[in-house]
Chains A and B, each alone.
Chain A
Amino acid sequence: MPLLSLKDLSLTIDEHQILQGISFDVEEGQIIGLIGPNGSGKTTLFNVISGFLKSSGGSITLGGEEISNLSPSQRAKRGIGRVFQNFGIFRDMTLEENILVALEALPRQQRKDLGDLKEVVAGTLDMVGLSDAGKKKAGSLSGGQMRLLEIARTLKAGKDLFLLDEPTAGVSPKMTGQVADIIKELKSNGKTVLIIEHDLPFIASICDEVVVLDVGKVVLQGTPAEVKESKELKEIYFGADPTT
Protein backbone atom coordinates (compact mmCIF):
# COMPACT_ATOMS: atom_id res chain seq x y z
CA MET A 1 0.00 0.00 0.00
CA PRO A 2 1.41 3.44 -0.90
CA LEU A 3 2.05 5.89 1.95
CA LEU A 4 0.37 8.73 0.07
CA SER A 5 -2.18 8.29 -2.66
CA LEU A 6 -3.72 11.12 -4.68
CA LYS A 7 -6.75 10.17 -6.78
CA ASP A 8 -8.29 12.50 -9.35
CA LEU A 9 -7.50 15.54 -7.20
CA SER A 10 -8.86 18.84 -8.42
CA LEU A 11 -9.07 22.40 -7.18
CA THR A 12 -11.18 25.22 -8.56
CA ILE A 13 -10.92 28.77 -7.25
CA ASP A 14 -13.25 31.46 -8.62
CA GLU A 15 -14.07 29.30 -11.65
CA HIS A 16 -10.35 28.85 -12.43
CA GLN A 17 -9.27 25.24 -12.48
CA ILE A 18 -5.95 25.28 -10.62
CA LEU A 19 -5.49 21.50 -10.32
CA GLN A 20 -7.09 18.94 -12.63
CA GLY A 21 -7.30 15.18 -12.13
CA ILE A 22 -4.00 14.79 -10.26
CA SER A 23 -3.36 11.13 -9.53
CA PHE A 24 -0.17 9.47 -8.34
CA ASP A 25 1.07 7.28 -5.51
CA VAL A 26 4.07 7.77 -3.28
CA GLU A 27 5.56 4.60 -1.82
CA GLU A 28 7.08 4.55 1.65
CA GLY A 29 10.77 5.49 1.62
CA GLN A 30 10.68 7.09 -1.83
CA ILE A 31 11.93 10.54 -2.75
CA ILE A 32 9.67 12.02 -5.41
CA GLY A 33 10.55 15.24 -7.21
CA LEU A 34 7.77 17.57 -8.28
CA ILE A 35 8.80 19.88 -11.11
CA GLY A 36 7.12 22.19 -13.57
CA PRO A 37 7.17 25.79 -14.70
CA ASN A 38 6.03 28.65 -12.45
CA GLY A 39 2.25 28.59 -12.02
CA SER A 40 1.94 24.89 -12.81
CA GLY A 41 0.37 24.20 -9.39
CA LYS A 42 3.22 22.59 -7.46
CA THR A 43 2.94 24.64 -4.27
CA THR A 44 -0.86 24.62 -4.56
CA LEU A 45 -0.73 20.83 -4.62
CA PHE A 46 1.36 20.92 -1.41
CA ASN A 47 -1.21 23.26 0.12
CA VAL A 48 -3.97 20.79 -0.76
CA ILE A 49 -2.03 17.78 0.58
CA SER A 50 -1.20 19.56 3.85
CA GLY A 51 -4.78 20.83 4.25
CA PHE A 52 -4.37 24.59 3.80
CA LEU A 53 -6.55 24.46 0.69
CA LYS A 54 -9.58 22.19 0.42
CA SER A 55 -9.72 20.20 -2.79
CA SER A 56 -12.81 20.56 -4.99
CA GLY A 57 -12.80 16.88 -5.87
CA GLY A 58 -10.86 13.63 -5.60
CA SER A 59 -9.28 12.00 -2.57
CA ILE A 60 -6.06 12.00 -0.55
CA THR A 61 -5.19 8.96 1.52
CA LEU A 62 -2.29 8.73 3.93
CA GLY A 63 -1.36 5.23 5.02
CA GLY A 64 -4.76 4.06 3.79
CA GLU A 65 -6.70 6.71 5.75
CA GLU A 66 -8.76 9.30 3.89
CA ILE A 67 -7.48 12.69 5.09
CA SER A 68 -9.21 15.09 2.67
CA ASN A 69 -11.49 16.48 5.37
CA LEU A 70 -8.87 16.88 8.09
CA SER A 71 -7.47 20.24 9.20
CA PRO A 72 -3.77 21.08 8.63
CA SER A 73 -2.91 20.43 12.28
CA GLN A 74 -4.73 17.07 12.22
CA ARG A 75 -2.78 16.08 9.10
CA ALA A 76 0.46 17.17 10.78
CA LYS A 77 -0.40 14.98 13.75
CA ARG A 78 -0.82 12.04 11.33
CA GLY A 79 2.73 12.47 10.12
CA ILE A 80 2.81 15.06 7.35
CA GLY A 81 5.72 17.46 7.79
CA ARG A 82 5.94 20.60 5.67
CA VAL A 83 9.03 22.66 4.91
CA PHE A 84 8.04 26.02 3.46
CA GLN A 85 9.73 27.91 0.65
CA ASN A 86 9.77 31.08 2.77
CA PHE A 87 11.31 29.35 5.82
CA GLY A 88 8.89 27.95 8.41
CA ILE A 89 11.09 29.10 11.26
CA PHE A 90 9.76 31.43 13.95
CA ARG A 91 12.28 34.23 13.84
CA ASP A 92 11.36 35.84 17.16
CA MET A 93 11.86 32.58 19.03
CA THR A 94 15.19 31.10 20.05
CA LEU A 95 16.48 28.04 18.20
CA GLU A 96 15.64 25.88 21.20
CA GLU A 97 12.07 27.21 21.33
CA ASN A 98 11.68 26.60 17.60
CA ILE A 99 12.40 22.92 18.06
CA LEU A 100 10.51 22.63 21.34
CA VAL A 101 7.31 24.11 19.90
CA ALA A 102 7.30 21.41 17.19
CA LEU A 103 7.90 18.60 19.67
CA GLU A 104 5.24 19.86 22.08
CA ALA A 105 2.65 19.87 19.29
CA LEU A 106 2.99 16.09 18.86
CA PRO A 107 0.27 13.75 20.12
CA ARG A 108 0.78 12.93 23.83
CA GLN A 109 2.00 9.34 23.35
CA GLN A 110 4.45 10.29 20.63
CA ARG A 111 5.81 13.06 22.86
CA LYS A 112 6.26 10.60 25.73
CA ASP A 113 8.08 8.16 23.46
CA LEU A 114 10.64 10.83 22.64
CA GLY A 115 11.76 10.93 26.29
CA ASP A 116 13.44 14.06 27.61
CA LEU A 117 12.54 16.84 25.16
CA LYS A 118 15.56 18.93 26.21
CA GLU A 119 17.82 16.12 25.03
CA VAL A 120 15.95 15.88 21.73
CA VAL A 121 16.37 19.64 21.29
CA ALA A 122 20.10 19.39 22.01
CA GLY A 123 20.40 16.46 19.57
CA THR A 124 18.61 18.39 16.83
CA LEU A 125 20.86 21.43 17.25
CA ASP A 126 23.88 19.15 17.21
CA MET A 127 22.66 17.50 14.01
CA VAL A 128 22.79 20.82 12.15
CA GLY A 129 25.95 22.10 13.84
CA LEU A 130 24.20 24.80 15.88
CA SER A 131 24.77 23.42 19.39
CA ASP A 132 26.19 26.71 20.67
CA ALA A 133 23.39 28.86 19.24
CA GLY A 134 20.42 27.38 21.12
CA LYS A 135 19.61 30.59 22.99
CA LYS A 136 19.97 32.82 19.92
CA LYS A 137 16.96 34.22 18.07
CA ALA A 138 16.29 32.16 14.92
CA GLY A 139 16.05 35.39 12.93
CA SER A 140 19.82 35.74 13.25
CA LEU A 141 20.48 32.55 11.22
CA SER A 142 21.47 32.48 7.55
CA GLY A 143 19.00 31.11 4.99
CA GLY A 144 20.89 27.82 4.78
CA GLN A 145 21.00 27.38 8.55
CA MET A 146 17.27 28.11 8.79
CA ARG A 147 16.57 25.51 6.12
CA LEU A 148 18.71 22.85 7.83
CA LEU A 149 17.11 23.61 11.19
CA GLU A 150 13.62 23.38 9.68
CA ILE A 151 14.26 20.00 8.07
CA ALA A 152 16.02 18.61 11.15
CA ARG A 153 13.16 19.83 13.36
CA THR A 154 10.60 18.09 11.13
CA LEU A 155 12.70 14.90 11.20
CA LYS A 156 12.99 14.91 15.00
CA ALA A 157 9.25 15.53 15.29
CA GLY A 158 8.84 12.05 13.83
CA LYS A 159 7.04 12.96 10.61
CA ASP A 160 6.73 10.19 8.01
CA LEU A 161 6.00 12.21 4.90
CA PHE A 162 8.03 15.34 4.16
CA LEU A 163 6.75 18.00 1.79
CA LEU A 164 9.80 20.11 0.92
CA ASP A 165 9.02 23.25 -1.05
CA GLU A 166 12.18 24.44 -2.83
CA PRO A 167 14.55 23.52 0.00
CA THR A 168 17.54 25.05 -1.78
CA ALA A 169 15.85 28.43 -2.39
CA GLY A 170 17.75 31.18 -0.59
CA VAL A 171 20.54 28.76 0.33
CA SER A 172 24.20 29.31 -0.60
CA PRO A 173 25.74 26.82 -3.08
CA LYS A 174 27.95 25.47 -0.29
CA MET A 175 24.95 24.74 1.91
CA THR A 176 22.93 23.20 -0.94
CA GLY A 177 25.20 20.12 -0.57
CA GLN A 178 24.36 19.97 3.14
CA VAL A 179 20.65 20.22 2.36
CA ALA A 180 21.02 17.34 -0.14
CA ASP A 181 22.84 15.29 2.51
CA ILE A 182 20.12 15.83 5.08
CA ILE A 183 17.43 14.84 2.53
CA LYS A 184 19.38 11.64 1.79
CA GLU A 185 19.55 11.07 5.53
CA LEU A 186 15.75 11.28 5.59
CA LYS A 187 15.64 8.47 3.05
CA SER A 188 18.09 6.37 5.01
CA ASN A 189 15.81 6.85 8.04
CA GLY A 190 12.95 5.36 6.00
CA LYS A 191 11.20 8.68 5.51
CA THR A 192 9.19 9.56 2.42
CA VAL A 193 9.85 12.84 0.67
CA LEU A 194 7.94 14.89 -1.89
CA ILE A 195 10.15 17.71 -3.07
CA ILE A 196 9.49 20.75 -5.26
CA GLU A 197 12.61 22.09 -6.99
CA HIS A 198 13.65 24.08 -10.03
CA ASP A 199 17.22 22.82 -9.84
CA LEU A 200 17.00 19.80 -12.18
CA PRO A 201 20.51 18.39 -11.51
CA PHE A 202 19.72 18.57 -7.79
CA ILE A 203 16.44 16.70 -8.36
CA ALA A 204 18.18 14.12 -10.54
CA SER A 205 20.82 13.52 -7.87
CA ILE A 206 18.43 12.68 -5.03
CA CYS A 207 15.06 11.54 -6.41
CA ASP A 208 13.80 8.04 -7.20
CA GLU A 209 11.03 9.36 -9.39
CA VAL A 210 9.95 12.68 -10.88
CA VAL A 211 6.43 13.98 -11.50
CA VAL A 212 6.07 16.86 -13.96
CA LEU A 213 3.15 19.27 -13.58
CA ASP A 214 1.95 21.75 -16.17
CA VAL A 215 -1.16 23.95 -15.96
CA GLY A 216 -2.39 21.94 -12.98
CA LYS A 217 -2.08 18.50 -14.61
CA VAL A 218 0.41 15.65 -14.33
CA VAL A 219 1.99 15.53 -17.78
CA LEU A 220 4.89 13.22 -17.16
CA GLN A 221 6.10 10.74 -14.57
CA GLY A 222 9.17 8.53 -14.49
CA THR A 223 12.73 8.13 -13.26
CA PRO A 224 14.92 11.25 -13.36
CA ALA A 225 16.76 9.84 -16.42
CA GLU A 226 13.53 9.13 -18.31
CA VAL A 227 12.08 12.54 -17.53
CA LYS A 228 15.33 14.34 -18.39
CA GLU A 229 15.40 12.78 -21.85
CA SER A 230 11.73 13.27 -22.63
CA LYS A 231 10.61 15.61 -25.40
CA GLU A 232 7.61 16.78 -23.31
CA LEU A 233 9.84 18.23 -20.61
CA LYS A 234 11.76 20.29 -23.15
CA GLU A 235 8.49 21.50 -24.64
CA ILE A 236 7.15 22.52 -21.26
CA TYR A 237 10.25 24.48 -20.34
CA PHE A 238 11.42 25.78 -23.72
CA GLY A 239 8.31 25.56 -25.97
CA ALA A 240 7.80 23.26 -29.02
CA ASP A 241 10.98 22.25 -30.85
CA PRO A 242 10.71 23.81 -34.36
CA THR A 243 13.02 21.13 -35.84
CA THR A 244 10.59 18.30 -35.09
Chain B
Amino acid sequence: MDFFLHIIVLIGTFLPTILGYNLVFGKGKILHFGPMGVSVITGYCFIVTLKSTGSFSLAILSGLIAVTLISLLFAWLSLRLNQDAFGVMSIAVHLSALAVVLNWNSLTRGALGIPQIPRPEFLSSVADFAIAAIILSIVTVYIVRKIDKSSFGRQLQALAEHEWHAKSLGIDRNRVHVLAFIICGIGIFLSNLIYLPYLTLLHPNDYQFAGMVFYVMIVVAGMPGSVWGATLSTVLLLALREAVRFAPLSASVLGPVRLMLFGFILFVAVYYRRDTLFPKQRSI
Protein backbone atom coordinates (compact mmCIF):
# COMPACT_ATOMS: atom_id res chain seq x y z
CA MET B 1 0.00 0.00 0.00
CA ASP B 2 2.78 2.37 0.96
CA PHE B 3 4.35 1.86 -2.46
CA PHE B 4 1.19 3.08 -4.22
CA LEU B 5 0.99 6.04 -1.88
CA HIS B 6 4.64 6.73 -2.67
CA ILE B 7 3.83 6.70 -6.41
CA ILE B 8 0.96 9.13 -5.80
CA VAL B 9 3.28 11.46 -3.88
CA LEU B 10 5.86 11.28 -6.66
CA ILE B 11 3.30 12.04 -9.39
CA GLY B 12 1.71 14.81 -7.35
CA THR B 13 5.02 16.47 -6.65
CA PHE B 14 6.29 16.09 -10.23
CA LEU B 15 3.17 17.55 -11.85
CA PRO B 16 3.64 21.24 -10.93
CA THR B 17 7.20 21.13 -12.27
CA ILE B 18 6.23 19.30 -15.46
CA LEU B 19 3.19 21.45 -16.21
CA GLY B 20 5.16 24.64 -15.61
CA TYR B 21 7.98 23.37 -17.77
CA ASN B 22 5.51 22.29 -20.45
CA LEU B 23 4.28 25.86 -20.63
CA VAL B 24 7.78 27.21 -21.40
CA PHE B 25 9.31 24.37 -23.42
CA GLY B 26 6.17 22.76 -24.86
CA LYS B 27 3.83 25.64 -25.57
CA GLY B 28 6.32 28.51 -25.72
CA LYS B 29 8.89 26.43 -27.63
CA ILE B 30 11.68 28.10 -25.65
CA LEU B 31 14.71 25.79 -25.44
CA HIS B 32 14.87 25.92 -21.66
CA PHE B 33 17.02 23.18 -20.12
CA GLY B 34 17.40 24.92 -16.78
CA PRO B 35 14.46 23.80 -14.60
CA MET B 36 16.85 21.62 -12.58
CA GLY B 37 18.93 24.75 -12.00
CA VAL B 38 15.82 26.56 -10.73
CA SER B 39 15.00 23.54 -8.58
CA VAL B 40 18.44 23.25 -7.00
CA ILE B 41 18.60 26.96 -6.09
CA THR B 42 15.05 27.18 -4.70
CA GLY B 43 15.40 23.81 -2.95
CA TYR B 44 18.55 24.83 -1.13
CA CYS B 45 17.25 28.31 -0.26
CA PHE B 46 14.07 26.77 1.16
CA ILE B 47 15.79 24.02 3.14
CA VAL B 48 18.79 26.04 4.40
CA THR B 49 16.39 28.71 5.71
CA LEU B 50 14.14 26.07 7.23
CA LYS B 51 17.01 24.32 8.98
CA SER B 52 18.57 27.51 10.26
CA THR B 53 15.39 29.26 11.44
CA GLY B 54 12.95 26.39 11.98
CA SER B 55 10.25 28.58 10.44
CA PHE B 56 8.28 27.26 7.46
CA SER B 57 6.94 30.75 6.72
CA LEU B 58 10.43 32.20 6.44
CA ALA B 59 11.60 29.21 4.42
CA ILE B 60 8.71 29.59 1.97
CA LEU B 61 9.40 33.31 1.69
CA SER B 62 13.08 32.62 1.02
CA GLY B 63 12.18 30.00 -1.61
CA LEU B 64 9.74 32.36 -3.31
CA ILE B 65 12.32 35.15 -3.46
CA ALA B 66 14.90 32.73 -4.86
CA VAL B 67 12.50 31.34 -7.47
CA THR B 68 11.50 34.83 -8.60
CA LEU B 69 15.12 35.94 -8.98
CA ILE B 70 16.33 32.83 -10.82
CA SER B 71 13.22 32.86 -13.07
CA LEU B 72 13.89 36.51 -13.91
CA LEU B 73 17.50 35.61 -14.73
CA PHE B 74 16.36 32.88 -17.13
CA ALA B 75 13.73 35.17 -18.68
CA TRP B 76 16.34 37.90 -19.16
CA LEU B 77 18.73 35.42 -20.79
CA SER B 78 15.98 34.08 -23.07
CA LEU B 79 15.22 37.62 -24.26
CA ARG B 80 18.83 38.44 -25.01
CA LEU B 81 20.11 35.22 -26.53
CA ASN B 82 18.91 33.36 -29.58
CA GLN B 83 17.15 30.01 -29.11
CA ASP B 84 20.21 27.76 -29.37
CA ALA B 85 22.47 29.99 -27.30
CA PHE B 86 19.81 30.16 -24.61
CA GLY B 87 19.52 26.37 -24.57
CA VAL B 88 23.25 26.03 -23.93
CA MET B 89 23.28 28.89 -21.42
CA SER B 90 20.40 27.36 -19.44
CA ILE B 91 22.43 24.15 -19.06
CA ALA B 92 25.43 26.23 -17.98
CA VAL B 93 23.39 28.02 -15.32
CA HIS B 94 22.10 24.69 -13.99
CA LEU B 95 25.58 23.16 -13.82
CA SER B 96 27.01 26.31 -12.22
CA ALA B 97 24.32 26.25 -9.54
CA LEU B 98 25.07 22.58 -8.90
CA ALA B 99 28.80 23.31 -8.66
CA VAL B 100 28.16 26.03 -6.06
CA VAL B 101 25.98 23.68 -4.02
CA LEU B 102 28.57 20.92 -4.17
CA ASN B 103 31.44 23.17 -3.14
CA TRP B 104 29.92 25.51 -0.56
CA ASN B 105 30.38 22.94 2.20
CA SER B 106 29.83 25.28 5.15
CA LEU B 107 26.31 26.09 3.95
CA THR B 108 25.16 23.04 1.98
CA ARG B 109 27.32 20.19 3.35
CA GLY B 110 28.44 19.63 -0.24
CA ALA B 111 28.08 16.10 -1.58
CA LEU B 112 26.64 14.86 1.73
CA GLY B 113 23.42 16.78 1.23
CA ILE B 114 21.16 18.02 4.02
CA PRO B 115 19.42 15.29 6.05
CA GLN B 116 16.66 15.37 8.68
CA ILE B 117 14.51 17.94 7.03
CA PRO B 118 11.58 18.66 9.33
CA ARG B 119 8.02 18.01 8.16
CA PRO B 120 5.07 20.29 8.79
CA GLU B 121 2.77 19.01 11.56
CA PHE B 122 -0.09 18.19 9.18
CA LEU B 123 2.18 16.06 6.97
CA SER B 124 3.41 13.36 9.30
CA SER B 125 2.69 10.17 7.32
CA VAL B 126 2.95 8.95 3.72
CA ALA B 127 -0.87 9.00 3.51
CA ASP B 128 -0.88 12.70 4.51
CA PHE B 129 1.65 13.43 1.78
CA ALA B 130 -0.41 11.44 -0.75
CA ILE B 131 -3.53 13.48 0.07
CA ALA B 132 -1.54 16.72 -0.20
CA ALA B 133 -0.08 15.52 -3.52
CA ILE B 134 -3.53 14.71 -4.92
CA ILE B 135 -4.87 18.13 -3.91
CA LEU B 136 -1.78 19.83 -5.35
CA SER B 137 -2.18 17.89 -8.62
CA ILE B 138 -5.85 18.79 -9.05
CA VAL B 139 -5.25 22.46 -8.25
CA THR B 140 -2.19 22.62 -10.52
CA VAL B 141 -3.91 20.98 -13.50
CA TYR B 142 -6.93 23.28 -13.06
CA ILE B 143 -4.83 26.46 -12.84
CA VAL B 144 -2.49 25.53 -15.70
CA ARG B 145 -5.50 24.65 -17.91
CA LYS B 146 -6.89 28.12 -17.16
CA ILE B 147 -3.53 29.72 -18.00
CA ASP B 148 -3.27 27.65 -21.18
CA LYS B 149 -6.65 28.87 -22.43
CA SER B 150 -6.12 32.48 -21.33
CA SER B 151 -4.99 35.42 -23.46
CA PHE B 152 -1.50 34.87 -22.02
CA GLY B 153 -1.56 31.27 -23.30
CA ARG B 154 -2.56 32.44 -26.77
CA GLN B 155 0.15 35.12 -26.78
CA LEU B 156 2.77 32.55 -25.75
CA GLN B 157 1.61 30.23 -28.53
CA ALA B 158 1.62 33.06 -31.09
CA LEU B 159 5.19 34.01 -30.16
CA ALA B 160 6.20 30.36 -30.41
CA GLU B 161 4.65 29.97 -33.83
CA HIS B 162 6.02 33.15 -35.40
CA GLU B 163 7.72 35.82 -33.34
CA TRP B 164 7.55 38.62 -35.93
CA HIS B 165 3.89 38.03 -36.68
CA ALA B 166 3.09 38.05 -32.97
CA LYS B 167 5.06 41.23 -32.32
CA SER B 168 3.40 42.98 -35.25
CA LEU B 169 0.07 42.47 -33.46
CA GLY B 170 1.42 44.29 -30.41
CA ILE B 171 2.29 41.24 -28.30
CA ASP B 172 4.96 42.17 -25.77
CA ARG B 173 7.56 39.38 -25.84
CA ASN B 174 9.31 40.65 -22.69
CA ARG B 175 6.16 40.48 -20.60
CA VAL B 176 5.14 37.07 -21.93
CA HIS B 177 8.58 35.52 -21.35
CA VAL B 178 8.90 36.91 -17.82
CA LEU B 179 5.45 35.57 -16.90
CA ALA B 180 6.12 32.17 -18.46
CA PHE B 181 9.39 31.69 -16.58
CA ILE B 182 7.88 32.84 -13.28
CA ILE B 183 4.91 30.45 -13.64
CA CYS B 184 7.34 27.64 -14.46
CA GLY B 185 9.49 28.57 -11.44
CA ILE B 186 6.52 28.62 -9.08
CA GLY B 187 5.59 25.12 -10.28
CA ILE B 188 9.12 23.94 -9.48
CA PHE B 189 9.00 25.58 -6.06
CA LEU B 190 5.65 23.91 -5.24
CA SER B 191 7.18 20.55 -6.11
CA ASN B 192 10.10 21.20 -3.76
CA LEU B 193 7.75 22.39 -1.05
CA ILE B 194 6.14 18.94 -0.74
CA TYR B 195 8.85 16.63 -2.08
CA LEU B 196 11.78 17.67 0.13
CA PRO B 197 9.95 17.37 3.49
CA TYR B 198 8.56 14.06 2.18
CA LEU B 199 12.07 12.69 1.51
CA THR B 200 13.48 14.47 4.58
CA LEU B 201 16.69 14.68 2.59
CA LEU B 202 18.08 17.22 0.14
CA HIS B 203 20.80 15.63 -1.93
CA PRO B 204 22.72 17.20 -4.85
CA ASN B 205 22.59 13.91 -6.80
CA ASP B 206 18.86 14.46 -7.30
CA TYR B 207 19.68 17.55 -9.36
CA GLN B 208 21.97 16.03 -11.98
CA PHE B 209 21.38 16.71 -15.68
CA ALA B 210 19.90 13.21 -16.18
CA GLY B 211 16.85 14.43 -14.24
CA MET B 212 16.46 17.22 -16.78
CA VAL B 213 16.40 14.66 -19.60
CA PHE B 214 13.53 12.92 -17.80
CA TYR B 215 11.56 16.21 -17.75
CA VAL B 216 12.15 16.69 -21.47
CA MET B 217 11.06 13.13 -22.15
CA ILE B 218 7.79 13.55 -20.24
CA VAL B 219 6.90 16.78 -22.06
CA VAL B 220 7.81 15.44 -25.50
CA ALA B 221 6.04 12.12 -24.99
CA GLY B 222 2.90 13.91 -23.82
CA MET B 223 2.78 16.17 -26.91
CA PRO B 224 4.56 19.49 -26.30
CA GLY B 225 2.13 22.15 -25.14
CA SER B 226 -0.68 19.79 -24.20
CA VAL B 227 -1.71 20.02 -20.53
CA TRP B 228 -3.58 16.71 -20.55
CA GLY B 229 -0.79 15.04 -22.53
CA ALA B 230 1.88 16.19 -20.06
CA THR B 231 -0.32 15.08 -17.14
CA LEU B 232 -0.88 11.63 -18.62
CA SER B 233 2.74 11.08 -19.56
CA THR B 234 3.85 12.18 -16.05
CA VAL B 235 1.58 9.52 -14.55
CA LEU B 236 2.60 6.77 -16.98
CA LEU B 237 6.34 7.41 -17.15
CA LEU B 238 6.76 7.89 -13.41
CA ALA B 239 4.78 4.71 -12.75
CA LEU B 240 6.94 2.91 -15.31
CA ARG B 241 10.15 4.27 -13.78
CA GLU B 242 9.15 3.01 -10.35
CA ALA B 243 7.77 -0.32 -11.66
CA VAL B 244 11.06 -1.14 -13.40
CA ARG B 245 12.63 -1.39 -9.94
CA PHE B 246 10.77 -4.68 -9.52
CA ALA B 247 12.21 -6.24 -12.69
CA PRO B 248 14.00 -9.52 -11.83
CA LEU B 249 17.45 -8.16 -12.62
CA SER B 250 20.52 -7.57 -10.50
CA ALA B 251 21.18 -4.00 -9.41
CA SER B 252 24.21 -3.73 -11.69
CA VAL B 253 22.07 -4.62 -14.73
CA LEU B 254 18.93 -2.78 -13.70
CA GLY B 255 20.51 0.68 -13.81
CA PRO B 256 21.78 0.46 -17.40
CA VAL B 257 18.56 -1.29 -18.55
CA ARG B 258 16.50 1.55 -17.11
CA LEU B 259 18.69 4.12 -18.86
CA MET B 260 18.37 2.29 -22.18
CA LEU B 261 14.62 1.96 -21.80
CA PHE B 262 14.15 5.67 -21.20
CA GLY B 263 16.65 6.51 -23.94
CA PHE B 264 14.52 4.46 -26.32
CA ILE B 265 11.29 6.14 -25.16
CA LEU B 266 12.89 9.57 -25.64
CA PHE B 267 14.07 8.62 -29.13
CA VAL B 268 10.61 7.40 -30.16
CA ALA B 269 8.92 10.44 -28.62
CA VAL B 270 11.23 12.93 -30.36
CA TYR B 271 10.88 11.05 -33.66
CA TYR B 272 7.11 11.19 -33.62
CA ARG B 273 6.83 14.68 -32.16
CA ARG B 274 9.57 16.32 -34.21
CA ASP B 275 7.14 18.74 -35.86
CA THR B 276 5.93 20.06 -32.54
CA LEU B 277 9.25 20.68 -30.83
CA PHE B 278 10.48 23.87 -32.43
CA PRO B 279 8.90 27.06 -33.76
CA LYS B 280 7.42 26.65 -37.25
CA GLN B 281 10.20 28.73 -38.84
CA ARG B 282 12.81 26.18 -37.85
CA SER B 283 11.17 22.78 -37.49
CA ILE B 284 13.59 19.89 -37.99
Please list the residues of chain A having a beta carbon within 8 angstroms of any beta carbon in chain B: 50-52, 71-73, 76-77, 81-82, 84, 88-93, 97, 100-102, 104-107, 157
Query: Does the CB pair A90–B161 fall under 8 Å?
Result: yes
Query: Does the CB pair A101–B155 fall under 8 Å?
Result: yes
Decide if B235 is an interface residue (CB 8 Å cutoff).
Answer: no
* Nearest chain A CB to B194 CB, angstrom units: 34
Decide if B13 is an interface residue (CB 8 Å cutoff).
Answer: no
Query: Does the CB pair A77–B162 fall under 8 Å?
Result: no
Given contacts A72-B167, A88-B168, A105-B172, 14 further A-B contacts (CB under 8 A): A51-B167, A71-B167, A72-B164, A76-B168, A84-B165, A84-B168, A88-B165, A90-B162, A93-B154, A93-B161, A101-B154, A101-B171, A102-B169, A157-B169
B168 neighbours in A (Cβ, 8 Å): 50, 72, 76, 81-82, 84, 88
Given contacts A90-B161, A91-B161, A91-B280, contact A76 B169 (CB under 8 A): yes
Decide if B157 is an interface residue (CB 8 Å cutoff).
Answer: yes
Q: Which DSSP category, helix, strand, loop or mixed, fits chain B's interface?
A: helix
The closest CB in chain B to the CB of A51 belongs to B167
B166 neighbours in A (Cβ, 8 Å): 90, 101
A102 neighbours in B (Cβ, 8 Å): 169-170
* Nearest chain B CB to A134 CB, angstrom units: 14
* Nearest chain A CB to B147 CB, angstrom units: 14
Q: What are 24 A-B pairs at a CB distance below 8 A?
A: A71-B167, A73-B169, A73-B171, A76-B168, A76-B170, A81-B168, A84-B164, A88-B162, A90-B157, A90-B161, A90-B166, A91-B161, A93-B154, A93-B157, A97-B154, A101-B157, A101-B166, A101-B171, A102-B169, A102-B170, A104-B155, A105-B155, A105-B170, A107-B170
* Nearest chain B CB to A27 CB, angstrom units: 23
* Nearest chain A CB to B172 CB, angstrom units: 5
* Nearest chain B CB to A79 CB, angstrom units: 10
Decide if B125 is an interface residue (CB 8 Å cutoff).
Answer: no
Decide if B250 is an interface residue (CB 8 Å cutoff).
Answer: no
Decide if B151 is an interface residue (CB 8 Å cutoff).
Answer: yes
Query: Does the CB pair A52–B164 fall under 8 Å?
Result: yes
The closest CB in chain B to the CB of A79 belongs to B170
B167 neighbours in A (Cβ, 8 Å): 51-52, 71-73, 76
Query: Does the CB pair B162–A100 fall under 8 Å?
Result: no
Map CB proximity to A onto B119-159 as digits: 1 under 8 Å, 0 otherwise: 00000000000000000000000000000000100110110
Query: Does the CB pair A100–B151 fall under 8 Å?
Result: yes
* Nearest chain A CB to B187 CB, angstrom units: 24
* Nearest chain A CB to B80 CB, angstrom units: 14
Decide if B173 is an interface residue (CB 8 Å cutoff).
Answer: yes
Of listed B155, B169, B280, residue having the most chain A CB within 10 A: B169
Q: Closest 6 CB pairs between A and B?
A: A76-B170, A105-B170, A104-B151, A88-B165, A82-B168, A72-B167
The closest CB in chain B to the CB of A150 belongs to B165
* Nearest chain A CB to B277 CB, angstrom units: 13
* Nearest chain B CB to A5 CB, angstrom units: 21
Query: Does the CB pair B158–A93 fall under 8 Å?
Result: yes
A81 neighbours in B (Cβ, 8 Å): 168
Query: Does the CB pair A90–B158 fall under 8 Å?
Result: yes
B162 neighbours in A (Cβ, 8 Å): 88, 90
Distance in angstroms between the alpha carbons of A90 and B173 in the assembled complex: 16
A76 neighbours in B (Cβ, 8 Å): 167-170
A89 neighbours in B (Cβ, 8 Å): 165
Distance in angstroms between the alpha carbons of A100 and B155 in the assembled complex: 10
* Nearest chain B CB to A142 CB, angstrom units: 18
Distance in angstroms between the alpha carbons of A189 and B280 in the assembled complex: 34
Query: Does the CB pair B151–A101 fall under 8 Å?
Result: yes
The closest CB in chain B to the CB of A76 belongs to B170
Distance in angstroms between the alpha carbons of A81 and B169 in the assembled complex: 7
Distance in angstroms between the alpha carbons of A91 and B283 in the assembled complex: 14
Query: Does the CB pair A73–B172 fall under 8 Å?
Result: yes
A51 neighbours in B (Cβ, 8 Å): 167
* Nearest chain A CB to B214 CB, angstrom units: 27
